[in-house]
Amino acid sequence: MLRASPGMLYDFRHMKFKTTHPQNRFDLPEWAGAFGDLGTLIPFVAAYISILKMDANGMLVAFGLALIVVGSIYRTPFPVQPMKAIGAAAITQATLAAGLGSAAVVGAALATGLMWLLLALTGLAGRLATWVPRPALMGVVMGLGFSFMLEGIRMMSTSPWIGGLLLALTLVLLGRPRVPAMLVLLAIGMAMALMNDPDLMHELGALKPEFRIPTLGWGSLSMSDLWTGFILLALPQLPLTFGNAYLSITEENNRLFPDRPVTEQSVAISTGLMNFGSSLLGGIPMCHGAGGMAGHVQFGARTGGSSVILGSILLAAGLFLSSSISTVFKIFPMSVLGVILFMAGLQLALGSRDTGAEKTDRFVVLATAAIAIGNVGVAVLFGILVHQASRRGWLRI
């Protein structure tokens, strides 16, 4: 065979070109890796349902469709996550007291979709990406990894001894590829949940699938909801999305899967389209967080099959179990979700180990990482400024 172009081989026997890109798999490692992002997905979705009283129907259907599409197109374990800054603001009681409701969250999803489509189609997102030096980007990735690990520890602290034992068991199992660590972890978590809550088995047995199609979220959306969602939720989220779900996910995907690269423009477009669709279904703002890919990969995923698997499960749950999804979520104890989140953060932080040979570059990486734990947007700006200052000789480390 002759190589004709990247990813293509010429098959003389059949006289045609064929792709060498791996196709999506749906084997046991992909099933295990599919659940690697539950540590962020479940807590935020559960909070939207319980605090803001949002309908799980459209929310889960939107997540499911988005995951199926990106997994099928990118063919890597491409994640779809709730936007964290928007989620944190939307579900706090203080914000609710100020009059923010579920309609503003839908408005924020629509505003986010329009913003990212505008950034992609004008090329502005790509031009902004060229301003961010690699050491600053590595620092953001490292800082995000640390923040995931810290949040995972906080979640495990609800049952510290159990959380510690589960973490140790997971680390041991990950060294034995034939044993799907995630599936073992989920099985133990389900057993724990049933032992701690004897009534849970009865509640699960009483579940009755009920087919529902999401109602259109734009029907009751007012200009006030759109404006509130844009100013209070979507705009403050933009720097975090730019650092974590635009630059970092592109870097992480292309580092792990150089044979299946993505471009900044394609990520910006998919971010815009999936938020546009989510708002249409009455869902929440979503992004492609780099930590999600780290979680999928950590537990075995290597193709887009994991995204398609998780998307299919969420789509089925949204269509048939949306009225009782809170009961289903009870089978995932907080300590188990904490272990999943910790391991995702560990995988993400390990990906930023190439900090460069120069002392200044290492400084930019480490300082940016420390700031990224608190605020990714500020960290990106800091990394750009310090990198430029060092190149001009204004800063000597």
Under the banding of pLDDT at 50, 70 and 90, the label for residue 92 is low
| CA distance readout (Å), 243 to 73, 234, 376, 383 | 23, 15, 6, 11
Quick one: pLDDT at residue 11? 44
Question: Mean per-residue pLDDT for 12-41?
Answer: 78
Quick one: pLDDT at residue 368? 87
More confident residue, 190 or 5: 190
Quick one: pLDDT at residue 175? 83
Quick one: pLDDT at residue 356? 55
Tokens linked to 210? 């009920």
pLDDT digit string (tens) for 67-88? 999 999 999 999 999 987 777 7
Tokens linked to 10? 């010429």
Q: How many CA atoms lie within 13 A of 80 on its CB side?
A: 34
User: What's the mean pLDDT when you consider all of the chain?
Assistant: 86
% residues pLDDT > 90 (the chain): 52
3-state secondary structure at position 216 = coil
Quick one: pLDDT at residue 13? 45
How far is 161 from 339, CA to CA, in rounded Å? 12
Instruction: State the pTM of this model.
Output: 0.86
Reported as type and span, the H/E element at residue 28 is helix 28-34
| CA angle centred on 312, ends 57 and 178, rounded to 5° | 135
Length of the chain: 397
